[in-house]
Amino acid sequence: MTDSWAAFGADLHIEPVGAGVRSGLINALREAVRTGRLAPGTRLPSSRTLAVDLGVARNTVADAYAELVAEGWLTAKQGSGTRVAQRAAPRRPAARTARSRQVRRRPAYNLMPGSPDLSAFPRAEWLKASRRALTAAPNEAFGYGDAQGRIELRTVLADYLARVRGVDADPERIVICSGFVHGLMLMGKVLRKRRVKEAAVESYGLDIHWNLLSEAGLRTPCLPVDGLGARTGELGGMRGVGAVLMTPAHQFPTGTPLHPDRRAAAVDWARSASGLILEDDYDGEFRYDRQPVGALQGLDPERVVYLGTSSKSLAPGLRLAWMVLPEGLVGEVCEAKGGFDWMSGTLDQLTLAQFMESGAYDRHVRAMRLRYRRRRDQLVEALAERAPDIRVSGIAAGLHAVLELPEGTERSVVQAAAWQGLAIEGLSRFRHREAAAGRDGLVIGYGSPPESAWAGSLDALCRVLP
């Protein structure tokens, strides 16, 4: 049998260092073992193979191996080849050890907002859809494809969004992107190219979204939020604002749906100011107490950019989201997308299309809606029994609730939760840097825990409340 890399040993990336080929090779191999890049027990290429790879004489490699065997770095046995010796793991530098001590322990319970129950991902149905998608995929689907995304997914999405969210959608005005953040990055680039200087944001929200717009060169003045949602009537007085980022169906994190009068005011502003509304419909499918509030986009498809995602309905790890755009923006967004990421993964797009077309997506959303509603009800009942002074709001929809705390207690409650191994987030964490000081509270993500950890998470929460 030919002694080659295909049959024996590992393919190495070794560059001799120092004076002399032999000593340089010894130094490189010794360093690779010392740092752990070559793990104990790793079989090395034969001296002939490594000599060919490095372009050196075979005797040079054989002598280097022999030297390292003598030093104890390698072992050589008849029929077993040359291997890295079974030595203790390399000791890590003291500085790294010190840093590792600063890493927090993984919390025992997680009630952070922003994630669904990942343990409920429909693996079996997704696998079926993936097989169907792979079988039916045309050869051209494995190329670079269309920057808008696969037409199969855009077609299914257009029907679904019209049926479930009241979106005025057409496949030719939909662009698939790799998550909401990717879509917002694209819009930031497009707005800046259009010479927009400011994009208003709600006074409560996610700083990662505000920062993305800032990094695109836009100022992000904040629009106050109260019990009726964002005060959109104030947009007219915000000179220089050419766009506004909003969560109309279920304001994040306060949970307030935008009042009908304020929805109309937002659209009126966009029309009169030639502005754009960026609608973040992050959890619009999860409404429990009445029919879902339709998307704002339906009021004026040429003034609203609708952004939806599978992150809450399925899993954020899929990195699949969609934008329904005014007709005149499609080309600009596709051009911007070419600079960031030409397209999202084809097979995942085709799988989601199959998953939705088969009805599995609807069934999954309905099942999760029942699960989350049950958790919400259990949260409300537990608080009524064990913390009756705590007011709960924002619970008509979504995967989180806001718990109002006595003034001045938010920080101490979050710290107490951390000591108890419970991950929670304070309401102030989501307040815009320019917003006025607000009430103390907690934003409790009841969608996050797996089913097995839900009861324990709820009990841990009640223990730390004042």
Same domain membership, residue 435 and residue 379: yes
Task: Answer whether residue 8 shows pLDDT above 90.
Answer: no
Q: For the chain, what percentages of helix, strand and coil (3-state, to nearest 5) are there?
A: 45, 15, 40
Same domain membership, residue 334 and residue 262: yes
Closest alpha carbon to 283 in 96, 447, 77, 141: 447
Q: Is residue 145 part of a domain?
A: yes
Q: In which element (H, E) is residue 177 found?
A: strand 174-177
Q: Looking at the 3D structure of the chain, how many domains does it have?
A: 3
Same domain membership, residue 353 and residue 281: yes
Q: Averaging pLDDT over each range in 81-95, 134-148, 179-193, which range is the top one? A: 179-193
Q: 435: domain CATH number?
A: 3.90.1150.10
Q: In whole angstroms, what separates CA 364 from the centre of its chain?
A: 20
pLDDT of residue 92: 52
Instruction: Using the 3D structure, point to which of 362, 381, 407 is the last residue of a domain.
Output: 362
Residue with tokens 């009861």, as numbered in its chain: 455
Q: Is residue 104 part of a domain?
A: no
DSSP 394: S
Report the pLDDT averaged over residues 257-261.
96
Q: pLDDT tens-digit profile of 37-61?
A: 888 888 888 888 888 888 889 999 9
For the chain, the distance separating the N- and C-terminal CA atoms, rounded to the nearest angstrom, is 75
Same domain membership, residue 56 and residue 17: yes
Q: Is residue 340 part of a domain?
A: yes
Q: Is residue 103 part of a domain?
A: no
Average pLDDT, the chain: 90
375's tokens: 């958790």
pLDDT of residue 94: 46
**How, if at all, do strands 225-226 and 425-426 pair?**
unpaired
Q: Is residue 44 part of a domain?
A: yes
Query: Is-contact 26 68, C-beta < 8 A?
Result: yes
Same domain membership, residue 194 and residue 286: yes
Report the pLDDT averaged over residues 418-429.
95
Phi-psi region at 394: left, alpha or beta (left = phi > 0; alpha = psi -120 to 50): left
Task: Answer whether residue 463 shows pLDDT above 80.
Answer: yes
Same domain membership, residue 225 and residue 236: yes
Same domain membership, residue 134 and residue 91: no
Task: Answer whether residue 93 shows pLDDT above 60.
Answer: no
Q: 87: domain CATH number?
A: 1.10.10.10
Name the residue with higher pLDDT: 148 or 102. Answer: 148
Instruction: Using the 3D structure, point to which of 345, 362, 379 is the last residue of a domain.
Output: 362
Report the pLDDT averaged over residues 257-276.
97
pLDDT of residue 460: 95
Q: How far apart are CA 33 and CA 23, in angstroms?
A: 15
Give start and end residues of each alpha helix (H) in 194-329. 207-215, 260-273
Strand, coil or helix: 378: helix
Q: pLDDT tens-digit profile of 210-253?
A: 999 999 999 999 999 999 999 999 999 999 999 999 999 999 99
Q: pLDDT tens-digit profile of 120-166?
A: 999 999 999 999 999 999 999 998 888 999 999 999 999 999 999 99
User: What domain range includes position 213?
Assistant: 121-362
Residue with tokens 């939705």, as numbered in its chain: 356
Q: pLDDT tens-digit profile of 343-380?
A: 778 999 999 999 999 999 999 999 999 999 999 999 99
Cβ atoms within 10 Å of 327's Cβ, excluding its own: 11
13's tokens: 């990336």
User: Between vectors from CA 283 to CA 319 and to CA 269, what angle results, nearest 5°?
Assistant: 105
Q: How far apart are CA 344 and CA 319, in angstroms?
A: 8
Same domain membership, residue 236 and residue 296: yes
Amino acid code (one letter) for 172? E
Name the residue with higher pLDDT: 302 or 290. Answer: 302
Q: Is residue 231 part of a domain?
A: yes
Distances (CA, A) of 159 to 17, 185, 299, 357: 62, 26, 18, 10
Q: How far apart are CA 377 and CA 299, in angstroms?
A: 33
Report the pLDDT averaged over residues 329-339.
90
pLDDT of residue 305: 98
pLDDT of residue 154: 98
Q: Is residue 229 part of a domain?
A: yes
DSSP 73: S
**pLDDT band at residue 381, thresholds of 50, 70 and 90?**
very high
Query: Is-contact 107 464, C-beta < 8 A?
Result: no
Query: Is-contact 315 121, C-beta < 8 A?
Result: yes
**pLDDT band at residue 33, thresholds of 50, 70 and 90?**
confident
Same domain membership, residue 218 and residue 156: yes
Q: In which element (H, E) is residue 309 found?
A: strand 304-309
Same domain membership, residue 357 and residue 372: no
Same domain membership, residue 283 and residue 137: yes
Q: Is residue 93 part of a domain?
A: yes
Residue with tokens 């103390």, as numbered in its chain: 440
Same domain membership, residue 286 and residue 263: yes
Instruction: Using the 3D structure, point to which of 362, 392, 425 is the last residue of a domain.
Output: 362
